[in-house]
Amino acid sequence: MRLIAELAASPQWRAPLAVSLGAVPGALARYYLSLLCGQWFGIGFPMGTLLANLSGAFLMGFFVTFTLDRLVIAPDLRLLIAVGFLGSYTTFSTYALDASNLLRSGQSGLALLYGLGSAGLGLLCLESGRLVARWL
């Protein structure tokens, strides 16, 4: 416990510690949501992943807007929730936030390229990884 307190007091360790402390509950929340959805809806469609992605995107939009516009919170707490918890719960929420930030900054072409490129190239990379694994 003393080591954690010392790390939390160190500026160079505060951010990674905050992200780590949020990541474990976020990953567990996604895992248990998927299990629950599998029991409720079956496993023929990835309902748990869909719900995690959609709820995570909603929560990311709400949290970032609320904490930037209306509520001042510590940067470490923002990292714990947005990057750690929500980033681990679903990376889709971060993907959606990045695309939204590009749109809001007037870079609609880059937002479109990022959005379609992430989805398309992500699928291509996943399938490439599968092919390489089978080849080995």
Question: Residues at the annotated binding site?
Answer: 87, 90
H/E run at residue 68: helix 47-69
Give the distance, in angstroms, between the CA of residue 95 and the centroid of all CA atoms in the same chain.
8
What is the torsion angle, in degrees rounded to the nearest 10, for the CA atoms of residue 101, residue 107, residue 112 and residue 118?
-50
Annotated binding site for Na(+): 87, 90
Distance CA(12)–CA(28), nearest Å, equals: 26
Per the CB < 8 A criterion, the answer to whether 49 and 107 are in contact is no
Among residues 132, 114, 54, which one has the least CA distance to residue 86?
54
